[in-house]
Amino acid sequence: MPNASRNPWMNAAPPEPQQIPVGIDPNVPSIARAYDYSLGGKDNFPIDRALVDQMEQQYPGVKEVSVHNRRTLVRLVRHMAGAGIAQFIDLGSGLPTAQNTHQVAQEVNPDARVVYIDNDPVVLAHGRALLAENGNTAVATADFLSPDEVLSTPEVKKLIDFDRPVGLMLIAVLHHIPDAADPAGMVRRYVDALPAGSMVAITSWTYTGLQVQKDITDMAREALGVGYARTPQEIRTFFGDLELVEPGLVFHALWRPDTPVDPGNLNPYEQFMMAGLGVKN
C-alpha cells in the first residue's frame, strides 16, 4: 500500500474499535467496501469513503461506474434466468446491496439457486446474516482465483448441480487480476467444469484510448494495490471459445439497456467497463 503522505484518503479517521470485524484492517481501503459506498451502502469504513470521495472530487460522476455496473449485472442475470439458467455461482460477489444476483434470479424463477463466493470477512458476515432464511442461496468462503477450491466448497456442492447449466458471474473482478496470474486461464478452468448450455457473464474495466479510463485505473491501483484496464480485444480473450450473446462485448451501458441509449453520446463513465455474456455449446 502507498503511504499516507502520497494518498490523502489514508488520513481518514478510523472507525470505532467495536465496529471493526475480526480480521479487518480499518486503515486499508477494501474493494468490496468502496464499491458498497459508491452504491450508497452503509457497510464501509471512513478509509473507503475517503477513497471514493477523493476520486469523485477529481472526477465528478465517477460513482456512475458502479451504478452502471450494478444495472448491467441485473440485466445479465435477468437474461440468463429468462433463458432457463436456474443456478448461479457469483465470484468475488462483494457486499450485499440492492438487486443482488439471487434477488434478480429469484424474481424470474423463485427456485433459482445462487452461491456467492468471497474471502472478505465483512462480505461473509453480512451475507450470511442476510441469507440465513433463504435456503436456495449461500455465501461460501473461498478464493475465486482457485477454481478447484471454489468448486469443492460445501455450499457449491449442496446447491449447484453440474449436470444442468450454470450461470457463472465474474462481475467487476477480472480487472483486479494481473496478467501474470493468467485471468483467462482461470476463467477457462471454471468453464471446463461447466456443462453445455452454461453462461458466463463478465464486466471489466477497459481502455479504449480515453485518458480518464487510465487516470481512474491508476488512482484505484495506487490505493487498492490492484486494477488493470484492458483493451476490448484483451477482455474478449476471457471468453475463450464461448459464443457471445448479442450485442457481443460492448460498453456496459450498451449491454441490452432497459431504455434506449445513444452509443454515440456516452459519457466517460458509461465507457469505463465492457460487458459480455458467453454461452458454452
Summarize pLDDT for 153-174 with one digit per residue, the tens.
Answer: 999 999 999 999 999 999 999 9
Residue scoring higher pLDDT (85 or 221): 85
247 burial level (CB within 10 Å; 0-12, 13-18, 19+)? middle
Are 229 and 213 in contact, with CB atoms under 8 Å apart? yes
Report the alpha-carbon distance of residue 217 to residue 252 in Å, rounded: 17
Cα four-point dihedral sign 4, 7, 12, 16: negative
pLDDT band at 98 (very low <50, low <70, confident <90, very high): low
E-only strand ranges, 151-190: 167-171
CA 254 to chain centre: 18
Q: Which residue has the higher pLDDT, 42 or 5?
A: 42
pLDDT of residue 253 exceeding 50: yes
The cell numbers describing 79, all together, are 437474461
How many C-beta neighbours within 10 Å does residue 272 have?
Answer: 27
Q: Nine-digit cell at 46?
A: 471512513
Q: What is the pLDDT of residue 15?
A: 43
What is the arithmetic mean of pLDDT over 201-228?
Answer: 89
Neighbour-count burial of 162, counting CB atoms closer than 10 A to its CB (0-12 exposed, 13-18 middle, 19+ buried): middle
| pLDDT above 80 for 18 | no
Torsion angle, alpha carbons of 188, 193, 195, 198, to 10: -50
Q: How confident is the model at residue 130 (pLDDT cuts 50, 70, 90)?
A: low
Q: Quick check: 178 and 226 in contact, CB under 8 A?
A: yes
Q: Which of 69, 23, 56, 21 is nearest to 204 (CA)?
A: 69
pTM over 0.95: no
Sign of CA dihedral 76, 80, 82, 87: negative
β-strand partners of 114: 88, 137
At residue 164, the pLDDT reads 98
Q: Which residue has the higher pLDDT, 69 or 275?
A: 275
